[in-house]
Amino acid sequence: MARIELPPAELAAAIVLQRQGTIVIGGIQTVVRQLLLFVPRFDARLDSLEFSEGSLKVKSSFVANGLQIAVLATDGAKTTRLTKPLEAEHQFALMANPTTLRVFVVNDRSEILDSFAEDENWSTRHRVIFAGTAYPTELMAMIRGGETDKVEFKEFIRLDDRKKANDIVKAVISFANTTGGTILIGVTDDAEIVGIDANIPNNEDKAATFAEDYYRGIRELLKQKLNRIPQIETQTEKVGDKTIFVLRVEEGSAKPYFNVQMREVFVRRGGSDVRPDPDNELRGMLGGRGSGFDWLP
């Protein structure tokens, strides 16, 4: 009597027949008289991909004829699309720093036989365009988790745009009046990492101090707008070739924090900055000084 052990769900084009035997799948032993075992069909496979200095090298194995290999790459500003008849080795000229890469092997019916995909956040196999890149673990966890009561996303905001700059002030007030949180500048509301790099000056001297000047500008803005400034830590992070500005706002020790110019108070609720409930949240921050807003200067 034969015994075959297989991991769960590892069952698809060769057929094995047995008169009698036992099979163990997922730890469960079953007596069989006949076993039908499926093995994936093989027409083509992407064996290896390597990227260096704007050049993508692809090695493939295949048994069918008339196959095509297609490559799609973008760096956010330029997109490259290339298609060639499939061969054992290919060399594709791409941009110097792609941020997204897709590779497909297709047959004459446009069926995908094998594929590879990679961007800043993930890869279907080992890293190729971001090989060797170390991603900040905590930062990536925050981005993948979306906006929450502790995380706020902002695309780059010019501080001389008063209306948009007020969104940063609002978020700082909300986090300081609640339990603290992190503002990520260079990430869209949909958690797409766009970075702040397009806004860095071309002048080398200005570019060298751009982050420091931006953080200083935020602190100056808060001095003008807030009754007091909570503890804020600033940090610059790289994700692939994208730069993100990180503002960590500590929970305030002297609540409430508010905008003295707009006479506004906010707290963080879910992924939003909202007005506090006057009978509960605001009363707690005021420590018995009433529940209305008449105490505002």
**Could you report the per-residue pLDDT of 115-171, keeping only the tens digit for each?**
999 987 778 888 898 776 666 778 888 988 899 999 999 999 999 999 999 999 999
Q: Return the pLDDT at 33.
A: 55
Identify the residue with better confidence: 195 or 297.
Answer: 195
Q: Is the pLDDT of residue 287 over 90?
A: no
Residue 222 CB neighbour total at 10 angstroms: 20
CB 83, CB 106: distance < 8 Å? no
- pTM, to two decimals: 0.59
Give residue-wise pLDDT tens across range 53-72.
889 999 999 888 889 999 99
Domains of the chain: 2-32 (no CATH), 44-118 (2.60.40.10), 137-286 (3.30.950.30)
Secondary structure of 178-222 as H, E, C letters: CCCEEEEECECCCCCECCCHHHCCCCHHHHHCHHHHHHHHHHHHH
Q: Return the pLDDT at 242.
A: 87
Q: Is the pLDDT of residue 295 over 60?
A: no
* Neighbouring-strand partners of residue 83: 70
Residue 12's pLDDT band, with cuts at 50, 70 and 90, is: very low
Give residue-wise pLDDT tens across range 200-222.
999 999 999 999 999 999 999 99
Q: Return the pLDDT at 283.
A: 76
Q: Return the pLDDT at 40.
A: 53
Cis peptide before 256 (omega within 30 of 0): yes
Q: Where are the beta strands (DSSP E) in the chain?
A: 2-6, 21-25, 28-32, 44-52, 55-62, 68-74, 79-85, 89-93, 100-106, 112-118, 151-154, 181-185, 232-239, 242-249, 258-259, 264-265, 267-269, 272-274
Identify the residue with better confidence: 21 or 132.
Answer: 132
- Among 40-44, 71-75, 97-101, 258-262, name the one with the lowest average pLDDT: 40-44
- Among 205-209, 267-271, 283-287, name the one with the lowest average pLDDT: 283-287
**Mean local confidence (pLDDT), 75-92:** 91
